Amino acid sequence: MSDVRRRVPRTDIVLADPLLVEPIQRLGRARVKAAVLATQQHVRDGRLDPADAAPATLAALPVGACSLSEVLNASGVILHTNLGRAPLSTAAREAIAVAAGTTDVELDLASGKRGRRGRGALAALAAKVPDAGSVLVVNNGAAALVLVATALAAGREIVVARGELVEIGDGFRLPDLLISTGARLREVGTTNRVTLADYEAAVGPRTGFVLKVHPSNFLVTGFTASVPVSELARLPAPVVVDIGSGLLAPHSLLPAEPDAASALRNGAALVTASGDKLLGGPQAGLLLGTADVVTALRRHPLARALRVDKLTLAALEATLAGPQPPTAAAIAAEPSALRARAERIVLSLAEAGIAATAVDSDAVVGGGGAPGVVLPSAAVALPAAYAERLRQARPAVLGRVERDRCLLDLRALPPADDERLLAAVLAAGA
Ligand SMILES: *Cc1c(COP(=O)(O)O)cnc(C)c1O
């Protein structure tokens, strides 16, 4: 026993090994030390030669100081909630890297005076939606709703259709969120139908605003009726439209998805949306509306608690003003191009002795919008056992298992990642 103990190299000696100098700088001493302690246990258990302590520690180190792992999205779900919704464009990632240091987020370099925080991102948003009198950005779509409910309806009523009281996901429900601000809900209509007369009967002196929520993650079909924004705008109360997904203008491939410009043109006083759904940007809550309403929101004390950080502002501006984000590219991808990519990957796998097939597949936009819309896609089909092996690889690959096959759907994966997907499958098949 004592002999084994003597053979275990001391922690400080392993940590001083030249092999670990660079990792300590990169990952921090605590993370490297944790790996050393694990290595020492392996020596104690007789599973590792003491001389190999430093190299074994090196091999066991995490890739970075953060525990998040990169995942290649081969699920066929473009906006995958569990994968953090929209992946950012290269331009947005670079913008984040600039903003991460000290930056002129609240400084006007020309005059040396204080500058308006987020002016670039706000200008980019306003430029994309000229129908908005003013714009504001907060932490996420839910924060945008909390801000408007607090500022316009605390102690008053929000008139909303019963069929639009949605659960966003993970147990969070919009009605609970709205009530938490001190506003009361005045529900109108039934689950499947609501008419202008229902709203007219409910709107009165206690009304803070009329809320229209896009059912972004479910469909009601059959005997249904809802009231368009253009008709709600005739009511004697401001109309707030939660479009959810963040389309700023109509999208030809997603005709049923509401957009900010149309809602404003049809008379909405305010539109709220998420930044990390169909817009393809960072998590953010976008508020676009008349100058009066947006100014009232900007001046509300709660606005300070909901403000976004400089990284978000940077990524949002680059998303709005820069090149097409991956989300838009994924939605627009031609099925024939996806099929050609799948066939190329299958060919490369065949050369390495791995049997796979290129198959047709159905992709979806995901929890971020366009419920019921199927986007024809293509996938690489492998035996089901690959799914788990690929999920545990680094980078991880998330496919989906369908009829006992592991499908790697290419619609949500940027073409530039095909080689890495191929490498992951080759490694998993080895
Ligand atoms: C997604 C969504 C929200 C919540 O937005 P977050 O950015 O996730 O906070 C609210 N309303 C609708 C209609 C949505 O689709």
pTM of the predicted model as reported, rounded to 2 decimal places? 0.93
Establish whether residue 367 lines the binding site of ligand 1, counting it when its CB lies within 6 angstroms of any ligand atom. no
The CA angle 392-277-323, to the nearest 5 degrees, is 95
Determine the Cα–Cα distance for residues 396 and 100; give it in Å rounded to an integer: 26
Contact 178, 149 (CB under 8 A): yes
The first and second tokens of residue 47, run together, are 């599973």
Q: Whose CA is nearest to atom 6 of ligand 1?
A: 141
pLDDT of residue 25: 92
Mutational pocket test of ligand 1: of 168, 216, 226, 277, the residue with most ligand atoms within 8 Å of the beta carbon: 168
- Only one residue has tokens 């308006």, namely 116
φ/ψ of residue 362, rounded to 5: -110, 120
Determine the Cα–Cα distance for residues 226 and 300; give it in Å rounded to an integer: 32
Establish whether residue 272 lines the binding site of ligand 1, counting it when its CB lies within 6 angstroms of any ligand atom. no
> Looking at residues 53-66, what average pLDDT do you find?
87
Q: For the chain, list the domains and their CATH numbers.
A: 4-60 (no CATH), 71-83+329-429 (3.90.1150.180), 90-324 (3.40.640.10)
**pLDDT tier for residue 3 given thresholds of 50, 70 and 90:** low
pLDDT of residue 292: 97
Q: From the alpha carbon of 283, which atom of ligand 1 is closest?
A: 7
Establish whether residue 341 lines the binding site of ligand 1, counting it when its CB lies within 6 angstroms of any ligand atom. no
The CA angle 39-44-46, to the nearest 5 degrees, is 95
Q: What is the three-class DSSP state of 273?
A: strand
Positions of E strands within 39-191 = 71-73, 77-79, 134-138, 157-161, 167-169, 172-173, 184-188
> Looking at residues 161-169, what average pLDDT do you find?
91
Contact 25, 4 (CB under 8 A): no
Contact 138, 284 (CB under 8 A): yes
Q: Quick: pLDDT tens for 112-136.
A: 999 999 999 999 999 999 999 999 9
Determine the Cα–Cα distance for residues 309 and 208; give it in Å rounded to an integer: 29
Whole-angstrom CA distances from 211 to 179, 202, 244, 249, 366 are: 13, 12, 13, 20, 24
Q: Which residues contact 8 (CB under 8 A, 6 or more apart)?
A: 40, 43, 44, 50
Contact 281, 319 (CB under 8 A): yes
Q: Quick: pLDDT tens for 319-378.
A: 999 999 999 999 999 999 999 999 999 999 999 999 999 999 999 999 768 888 999 999
Q: How many DSSP H helices and E strands does the chain contain?
A: 19, 16
- Only one residue has tokens 């960072």, namely 282
Establish whether residue 322 lines the binding site of ligand 1, counting it when its CB lies within 6 angstroms of any ligand atom. no
Instruction: Say if residue 260's pLDDT is above 90.
Output: yes
Q: How far is the CA of 156 from the centre of ligand 1 (A)?
A: 23
Establish whether residue 213 lines the binding site of ligand 1, counting it when its CB lies within 6 angstroms of any ligand atom. yes
Calculate the average pLDDT of the chain: 95
Establish whether residue 216 lines the binding site of ligand 1, counting it when its CB lies within 6 angstroms of any ligand atom. yes
Shortest CA distance to 369 belongs to which of 252, 219, 251, 217?
A: 217
Identify the DSSP state of 353.
T
Identify the DSSP state of 225.
B
> Looking at residues 39-53, what average pLDDT do you find?
91
Q: From the alpha carbon of 214, which atom of ligand 1 is closest?
A: 13
What is the H or E stretch that residue 414 is in?
none
Q: What percent of the chain has pLDDT over 70?
A: 98
Mutational pocket test of ligand 1: of 146, 220, 242, the residue with most ligand atoms within 8 Å of the beta carbon: 242
> Looking at residues 74-92, what average pLDDT do you find?
97
Q: What is the DSSP string of 364-399?
A: EEETTS-TT-EEEEEEEEEETTHHHHHHTSSSEEE-
Q: Whose CA is nearest to atom 14 of ligand 1?
A: 244
Identify the DSSP state of 68.
-
Q: How far is the CA of 130 from the centre of ligand 1 (A)?
A: 23
Q: How far is the CA of 273 from the centre of ligand 1 (A)?
A: 7
**pLDDT tier for residue 7 given thresholds of 50, 70 and 90:** confident
Omega within 30 of 0 (cis) for the link into 55: no
Q: What does the radius of gyration of the chain's CA atoms come to, in whole angstroms?
A: 26
Establish whether residue 75 lines the binding site of ligand 1, counting it when its CB lies within 6 angstroms of any ligand atom. no
Q: How far is the CA of 278 from the centre of ligand 1 (A)?
A: 11
Dihedral sign for Cα atoms in the order 111, 112, 113, 119: positive
Instruction: Say if residue 63's pLDDT is above 90.
Output: no
Q: What is the DSSP string of 155-213?
A: TSEEEEEGGG--EEETTEEHHHHHHTTT-EEEEES-SSB--HHHHHHH-STTEEEEEEE
Q: What count of other Cβ atoms lies within 10 Å of the Cβ of residue 383? A: 13
Contact 232, 210 (CB under 8 A): yes
pLDDT of residue 341: 98
The first and second tokens of residue 147, run together, are 């801000």
Q: From the alpha carbon of 145, which atom of ligand 1 is closest?
A: 10
**pLDDT tier for residue 4 given thresholds of 50, 70 and 90:** low
**pLDDT tier for residue 316 given thresholds of 50, 70 and 90:** very high
